[in-house]
């Protein structure tokens, strides 16, 4: 057979066959052949072309890692962009390409997994790793993270920076436990010091502000739209005020004989069926059943204070040896001292005192319709005085000797057969005047006429 160049062979194959061989010749091993269907090269393979190199089967490296510690079996080296791309030709539109990338085009110290469109002109980052040398790394997930395992554990972060941190540029941060019907969320609103645990029906809204049931922690305060259950057997301590947004319907002391302490004032309930309720009109009721007592005991030398009105529907108010009896059937009020009635107020508002009525200042009487009134009082000179409206000279005074001083005239009843008029008394005069008339005086029913002079 005449010599012929390989490129001049008449038949062109599109692929090698299992019985094809390549001719090899070397100074050490001489002339031999190499299976062209599945060759094994003893050195490195360099592909300098800029097109696509296709492999229908797997690409496997069975050699150990390179001599440089920790390098992998496959190394891509390019200053601008290194990438490993996976292509699924049968996937749907813009679902075919995934690529791992690194290099200056991606970012210094950045390695990412990127989802590309079919045209390979755009994409989104699915997973991005950044590093600061070999001292720290960070991972960013472009979408949602689903953990099929039973735990998420982080033992590396300091307490000051948080073991698990959520950050979102628009504000809201949510940790969600989702079921088929409801979401259970831990939600923080913006940069505010607010953490809200909420239960939201999917049919309401995904917006946390539309959640109907939630508990919020804001600057140390706790607000809940539901019920608060404390199952512990020890003491629950509140340093501030307890202000419920809804009625408290829990029957305190339901299983024990003592009520809980509120502001160190103890509500002692001897009957297990007693309870504290808040009514729709804003009032608060202490309820006792089976004729049991309710005792309010302040701490130490404290007192029980009523800031506004105290209404007692009926019964007895007792303090020490004294009692105040409110009789709702007879509509009377009786105040007792040492077991004896001291004051009685009847249905006509009459007050009956069983003994002396003493006052340090003055008794005052008025008709209730005007501001005008009379005052009866004892002055510092021990005189007893009457004064109109509490100003000016006293209209009447009496000293300790029984002497009576009247500031104006004195008028008696009409004398028998005579005419009543005002009297004023002057001092005695030794000079006898000539009578110009007479004064009528009724003595024992008989009218006398005393000579008088003007």
Say if strands 123-132 and 396-398 run parallel, antiparallel, or are unpaired.
Answer: unpaired
What dihedral do alpha carbons 190, 192, 197, 199 form, nearest 10°?
Answer: -40
pLDDT digits (tens, 9 = 90+) for 243-268: 555 544 444 443 433 333 332 233 33
Helix (H) or strand (E) holding 294: strand 294-297
Which of 130-144, 367-381, 390-404 is the least confident region?
367-381
Distances (CA, A) of 127 to 132, 170, 418: 17, 21, 125
Query: Collapsing DSSP states into helix, strand and coil, what is residue 7?
Result: helix
DSSP string, 60-81: ---SPPPSSTT--SS----SS-
Is residue 216 scored above 80 in pLDDT? no
With contact defined as beta carbons under 8 Å apart, do 129 and 138 qualify? yes
**271: burial class by Cβ within 10 Å (0-12, 13-18, 19+)?**
middle
Is residue 364 scored above 80 in pLDDT? yes
Query: Collapsing DSSP states into helix, strand and coil, what is residue 8?
Result: helix
- What count of Cα atoms within 13 Å lies in the side-chain half-sphere of residue 46? 3
Distances (CA, A) of 212 to 178, 197, 240: 16, 11, 26
Strand partners, 112: 101, 128
In the chain, where the domains are located: 78-144, 173-224, 246-301, 410-452
190: left (phi over 0), alpha (psi -120 to 50) or beta: left
In whole angstroms, what separates CA 217 from the centre of its chain? 7
In whole angstroms, what separates CA 146 from the centre of its chain? 33
pLDDT digits (tens, 9 = 90+) for 117-146: 999 999 999 999 999 998 988 899 998 888
CA distance 225 to 367: 55
**Per-chain mean pLDDT for the chain:** 75
């Amino acid at each position: 057979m005449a010599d012929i160049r390989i490129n001049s062979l008449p038949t062109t194959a599109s692929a090698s066959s299992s019985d094809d061989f390549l001719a090899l010749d070397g100074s050490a091993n001489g002339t031999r052949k190499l299976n062209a269907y599945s060759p094994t090269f003893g050195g490195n393979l360099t592909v300098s072309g800029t097109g696509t190199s296709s492999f229908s089967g797997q690409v496997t490296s069975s050699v150990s890692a390179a001599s440089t510690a920790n390098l992998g079996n496959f190394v891509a080296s390019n200053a601008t962009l290194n990438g490993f791309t996976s292509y699924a030709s049968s996937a749907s539109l813009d679902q075919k390409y995934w690529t791992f990338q690194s290099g200056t085009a991606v970012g210094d110290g950045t390695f990412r997994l990127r989802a590309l469109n079919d045209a390979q002109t755009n994409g989104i980052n699915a997973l991005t790793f950044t590093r600061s040398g070999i001292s720290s790394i960070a991972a960013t997930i472009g979408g949602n993270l689903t953990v099929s395992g039973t735990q998420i554990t982080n033992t590396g972060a300091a307490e000051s920076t948080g073991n698990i941190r959520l950050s979102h540029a628009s504000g809201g941060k949510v940790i969600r436990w989702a079921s088929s019907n409801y979401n259970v969320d831990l939600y923080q609103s913006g940069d505010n010091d607010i953490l809200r645990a909420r239960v939201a029906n999917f049919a309401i809204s995904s917006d946390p502000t539309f959640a109907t049931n939630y508990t919020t922690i804001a600057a140390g305060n706790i607000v809940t739209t539901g019920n608060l259950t404390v199952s512990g057997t020890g003491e629950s301590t509140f340093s501030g005020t307890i202000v419920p947004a809804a009625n408290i319907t829990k029957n305190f002391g339901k299983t024990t004989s003592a009520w809980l302490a509120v502001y160190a004032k103890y509500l002692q309930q001897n009957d297990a069926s007693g309870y504290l309720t808040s009514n729709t009109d804003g009032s608060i009721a202490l309820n006792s059943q089976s004729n049991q007592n309710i005792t309010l005991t302040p701490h130490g030398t404290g007192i029980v204070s009523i800031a506004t009105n105290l209404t007692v529907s009926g019964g007895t108010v007792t303090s020490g040896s004294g009692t105040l009896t409110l009789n709702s059937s007879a509509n009377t009020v009786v105040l007792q001292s040492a077991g004896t009635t001291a004051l009685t107020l009847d249905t006509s508002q009459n007050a009956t005192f069983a003994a002396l009525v003493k006052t340090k200042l003055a008794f005052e009487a008025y008709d209730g319709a005007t501001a005008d009134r009379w005052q009866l009082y004892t002055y510092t000179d021990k005189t007893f005085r009457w004064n109109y409206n509490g100003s000016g000279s006293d209209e009447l005074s009496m000293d300790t000797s029984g002497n009576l001083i009247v500031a104006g005239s004195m008028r008696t009843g009409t004398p028998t057969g005579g005419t009543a008029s005002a009297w004023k008394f002057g001092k005695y005069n030794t000079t006898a005047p000539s009578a110009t008339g007479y004064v009528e005086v009724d003595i024992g029913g008989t009218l006398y006429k005393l000579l008088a002079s003007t």
